[in-house]
């Protein structure tokens, strides 16, 4: 029976991955992400529903556009697949059972709400990672959306879980200070400050996970960044400043350690 639940989570993951590939392209240029249909970037032909089924469409079309036969970047397939696997692992790590879910107890509702928040949290992270990888830029609209979800999450914890709020109050104060600093720097220099954005992303992650996960996230990110920098230095001999997508590496590390921590807490007891 569990396989149905995991199958659903995998499909949700691939759909979110598919949405993210579109959003990664549209959000930074301020384009609408919900009303406008997708089109082929080469021939501009509008894509139909059956061209947009995650993974299936790519494989059925042999990785080519149905209309102009231009190759579709394999990145799209990998993104959808990776997103599907991530959500599948998230479901596996929470160790929920379909029978329990269907017996409609208070625990069940809690479980579903928490998975819902998990899905939203991971979606914002995947979006941030995709945009950062493409443009070395932390998307503020996505981060803002994330903070709204965070607010709802804290509200949920306070109302139903009786968890002490002081920890979150401190986080919120930090977030406000950084945002004010960000606005002040924006006015002074007239451009986005990448370090401040990374700091906001870090606090966002910390609020949704915990200090242990964030410690490992930082260590892994530093290793990724070091490897990235060395690889680029070896590749290009020019003394050009290498732009490292720190946010992208942070997201990968955070998703990995969040799922791992879940596994350790729920399955290896
Ligand atoms: Zn085309």
Is residue 46 scored above 80 in pLDDT? yes
In the block, tokens 């959808």 appear at: 80
Residues 83-97 have a mean pLDDT of 87
CA of 60 to the centre of ligand 1 (A): 15
Helix residue ranges per DSSP H, 65-161: 74-94, 98-102, 106-135, 140-160
Is residue 263 scored above 70 in pLDDT? yes
* Residue of higher predicted confidence among 267 and 124: 124
CA of 36 to the centre of ligand 1 (A): 17
CA of 213 to the centre of ligand 1 (A): 43
pLDDT band at 213 (very low <50, low <70, confident <90, very high): very high
Confidence (pLDDT) at 163: 72
Decide: pTM greater than 0.85: yes
DSSP 245: -
CA of 40 to the centre of ligand 1 (A): 5
- Asked whether 77 and 98 are in contact (CB, 8 A), the reply is no
* Residue of higher predicted confidence among 260 and 108: 260
Confidence (pLDDT) at 44: 87
CA of 77 to the centre of ligand 1 (A): 16
CA of 53 to the centre of ligand 1 (A): 16
CA of 47 to the centre of ligand 1 (A): 9
pLDDT band at 199 (very low <50, low <70, confident <90, very high): very high
Residues 113-138 have a mean pLDDT of 92
Confidence (pLDDT) at 201: 95
* Residue of higher predicted confidence among 169 and 84: 84
How does the average pLDDT of the chain come out, rounded? 87
Residues 175-189 have a mean pLDDT of 87
Confidence (pLDDT) at 164: 72
| Two tokens, residue 23 | 């959003």
3-state secondary structure of 71: strand
* Residue of higher predicted confidence among 119 and 37: 119
Got the DSSP string for 8-68? HHHHHHHHHHHHHHHHHHHGGGT--SSSSPPB-TTT-PBPPGGG-STTHHHHHTTTB-TTT
| Residue 22 CB neighbour total at 10 angstroms | 16
CA of 42 to the centre of ligand 1 (A): 5
pLDDT digits (tens, 9 = 90+) for 143-156: 999 999 999 998 88
pLDDT band at 159 (very low <50, low <70, confident <90, very high): confident
Confidence (pLDDT) at 104: 67
Confidence (pLDDT) at 237: 60
CA of residue 96 relative to chain centroid, distance: 22
32-36, 63-67, 124-128, 245-249: segment of lowest average pLDDT: 32-36
3-state secondary structure of 162: coil
Confidence (pLDDT) at 269: 64
CA of residue 39 relative to chain centroid, distance: 24
| Two tokens, residue 2 | 């569990």
| Residue 245 CB neighbour total at 10 angstroms | 22
CA of 32 to the centre of ligand 1 (A): 21
Residues 46-62 have a mean pLDDT of 88
CA of 127 to the centre of ligand 1 (A): 24
Contacts of 23 (CB under 8 A, 6+ apart): 33, 127, 130
Please say whether the dihedral angle defined by the alpha carbons of residues 5, 6, 8 and 13, taken in this order, is positive or negative. positive
Confidence (pLDDT) at 119: 93
72-81, 94-103, 165-174, 176-185: segment of lowest average pLDDT: 94-103
- Asked whether 169 and 175 are in contact (CB, 8 A), the reply is no
Give the C-alpha separation, 129 to 188, whole Å. Answer: 27
Confidence (pLDDT) at 239: 57
CA of 49 to the centre of ligand 1 (A): 15
CA-nearest of 173, 172, 179, 176 to 196 is 179
pLDDT band at 4 (very low <50, low <70, confident <90, very high): confident
């Amino acid at each position: 029976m569990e396989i149905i639940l995991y199958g659903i989570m995998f499909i949700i993951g691939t759909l979110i991955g598919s949405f993210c590939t579109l959003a990664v392209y549209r959000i930074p240029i301020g384009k609408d992400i919900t009303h406008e249909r997708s089109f082929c970037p080469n021939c501009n032909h509008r894509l139909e529903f059956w061209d947009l089924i995650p993974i299936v469409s790519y494989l059925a079309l042999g990785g080519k556009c149905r209309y102009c036969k231009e190759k579709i970047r394999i990145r799209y397939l990998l993104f959808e697949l990776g997103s599907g696997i991530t959500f599948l692992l998230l479901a596996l790590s929470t160790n929920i059972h379909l029978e329990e879910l269907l017996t409609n107890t208070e625990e069940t509702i809690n479980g579903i709400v928490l998975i819902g928040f998990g899905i939203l949290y991971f979606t914002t992270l995947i979006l941030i990672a995709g945009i950062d990888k493409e443009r070395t830029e932390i998307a503020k609209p996505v981060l803002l959306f994330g903070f709204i979800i965070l607010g709802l999450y804290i509200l949920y914890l306070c109302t139903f879980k009786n968890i002490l709020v002081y920890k979150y109050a401190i986080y919120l104060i930090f977030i406000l200070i950084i945002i004010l600093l960000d606005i002040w720097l924006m006015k002074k220099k007239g451009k986005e400050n990448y370090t401040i954005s990374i700091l906001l992303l870090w606090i966002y992650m910390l609020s949704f996970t915990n200090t242990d996960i964030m410690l490992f996230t930082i260590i892994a990110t530093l290793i990724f960044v070091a490897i990235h920098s060395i690889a680029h230095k070896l590749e290009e001999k020019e003394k050009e400043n290498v732009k490292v997508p720190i946010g992208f590496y942070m997201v990968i590390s955070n998703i990995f350690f969040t799922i791992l921590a879940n596994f350790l807490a729920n399955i290896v007891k």
